[in-house]
Chain A
């Protein structure tokens, strides 16, 4: 009898304990809006999602000991709808490019009671690569000057639109001298393929997709505007104040995503191709060593300046509301995340990658369909390998070289090649290739010509 009552007591106690636990357990919903067709958002979007990195860093102690997390991801084609969903509190986090980020901050600050915080970056290109102007591959347009009197399309309101406006201003082409058309990336790319438009300006990775598919050719790279191109993470302030450790966990996941990519870029882009549908060869141009994108969650002073510049463009052209940058941008969360990870935030913040300097002497690469990526220290070694591989009929996914002028990584097949004596050089733009050829007593040749120089008989 005594045993029976003890047993009953134990069962009752267990029941009460579990009931108490259930009452204590808090369900924390974390909803993130990302863009799988925008490469620069991947380290806070698709990579974190697919590798479950956020779950790895979510807090499980202290006030979170009994927390249940419900993490959901929503994929968008552009940043605008993410802001609307955040206003409606259907998303807590948003990952987007610089222009939509500014609109996000400004639209929230326009309200009486709601705010977002810009808490971390995802990646950047110091000079602005990622945005570009592309023409149909068979076009006789080779420089931005030739766009006078032509039709140029762009997604108005995007970073590519801002870049186009600045590029035209920098080159003294007033808006009256070209016809600007508002066009979505997919339709713009289709029009370039069909030769229905003279030029199209777009954001990452559309220009490279067009180049890789052989439909378009870059005539202007965003790096020429010298305005950094960056992406970042915004979070609703009410969520951040309620769950600061969750925001820190998200930033840790962003950092971990970057580390994962850096560890093995080829494997990373191959997986990302499966997750996003964007060709791995195009993604490699962004995520490999020497690629367009520097993965870095820190918030640099230069980024704030760039965002202020972009806000000025938006105010002038689209009359968007004012934005108090001091209230919107905070380093508190990213600093706390770095401290928790035992990383030196100040050192990472101070580090700035300029492709023109960082990519000097970078090895050239060939992506063999079966054997993967091989690197070559110089042009002769690279071209010899190309000659051998093409001689055996090997299937090559892509080849990568560097623009002499900007240090930008290029597809070998889309670069302009110059042969001067026994030396070879590669360029993004034809004009600079011609200037180099003249200065070095060389000549413009095709990629195939360069390879054929290294074909050995027998």
Chain B
């Protein structure tokens, strides 16, 4: 395992610029993908955007929340930007749908991008056989999918009671009972996604370290 960790750290050190790029790409593309999905789903372009004073709001939360343990959860829900579609057929306008850019989720997407990039780099280092590479890609996709899904930040007026990640699924057409059933599994699915990616990275690094050990062993005559 130590060898595997050495390989991981070595790859991360050697390719940190590329991994950062992966992180930024995931951060940006996840928001673009969600916005595109909303536009396609509702067949309408956004017509309003609101920018929030995120640092100021976080400072306010820190000042006014007595318990340290309460702060992360509240800060995690703070919005930076809201982009959406306002329907002016009713009242003075009602937000039909919106995409909320939330810094805490951007961080998650950034970490996800780094992990995916790391797995891709390890696959290249390992020079896996085609079936292994296929399996590794499938696991990467599954892990990334779970994380992206549970960090969706799409919203609409229907979340009268508890806006959560399943709103995004419901907006994309998932049934009510299925989305409600999935709601409580959110944290587990999220951890599961990260677990899969970490396990894959470790597995690939372990394979590389084992191969290096075998190659380094002296041949017996």
A interface with B by C-beta (< 8 Å): 36-37, 75, 77-81, 84, 87-90, 97, 99-100, 102-103, 107, 111-114, 155-159, 161, 175, 179-187, 189-190, 209, 238, 276-278, 314, 317-320
B135 at the binding interface (Cβ < 8 Å): no
A199 CB, nearest partner CB in chain B, Å: 14
Q: Among B17-25, B88-96, B142-150, B192-200, which stretch is in contact with chain A?
A: B88-96
The answer for the CA separation of A186 and B94 in the assembled complex, in Å, is: 7
**Sampled A-B contacts (16; CB under 8 Å):** A37-B94, A77-B95, A88-B78, A99-B160, A103-B161, A113-B70, A114-B70, A156-B176, A157-B158, A159-B160, A180-B177, A182-B158, A190-B89, A278-B90, A318-B180, A320-B162
Which chain B residues border A37 with CB–CB below 8 Å? 90-91, 94
B129 at the binding interface (Cβ < 8 Å): no
Which of B67, B73, B93, B184 is A319 in contact with, Cβ under 8 Å? B184
Residue count of chain B within 8 Å CB distance of chain A: 41
Which chain A residues border B69 with CB–CB below 8 Å? 112
Which chain A residues border B28 with CB–CB below 8 Å? none
The answer for the CA separation of A93 and B90 in the assembled complex, in Å, is: 25
Given contacts A77-B94, A89-B61, A180-B177, contact A99 B161 (CB under 8 A): yes
B interface with A by C-beta (< 8 Å): 42, 57, 60-61, 63-67, 69-70, 73-74, 77-78, 87, 89-97, 156-163, 170, 175-177, 179-180, 183-184
A158/B94 in contact, CB under 8 A: no
The answer for the CA separation of A92 and B39 in the assembled complex, in Å, is: 35
B60/A156 in contact, CB under 8 A: no
The answer for the CA separation of A100 and B74 in the assembled complex, in Å, is: 18
Given contacts A113-B67, A319-B184, contact A314 B161 (CB under 8 A): yes
B156/A184 in contact, CB under 8 A: yes
B161/A100 in contact, CB under 8 A: yes
Given contacts A37-B91, A187-B96, contact A155 B65 (CB under 8 A): no
- For B97, the closest partner residue in chain A by CB is A184
Which chain A residues border B177 with CB–CB below 8 Å? 175, 180
A84/B163 in contact, CB under 8 A: yes
- For A273, the closest partner residue in chain B by CB is B91
Which of B61, B67, B91, B96 is A277 in contact with, Cβ under 8 Å? B91
B27 CB, nearest partner CB in chain A, Å: 22
B60/A90 in contact, CB under 8 A: yes
Which chain A residues border B91 with CB–CB below 8 Å? 36-37, 276-278
B161/A158 in contact, CB under 8 A: yes
The answer for the CA separation of A87 and B70 in the assembled complex, in Å, is: 10
Given contacts A276-B92, A278-B91, contact A183 B67 (CB under 8 A): no
Which of B77, B156, B160 is A100 in contact with, Cβ under 8 Å? B160
The answer for the CA separation of A190 and B89 in the assembled complex, in Å, is: 9
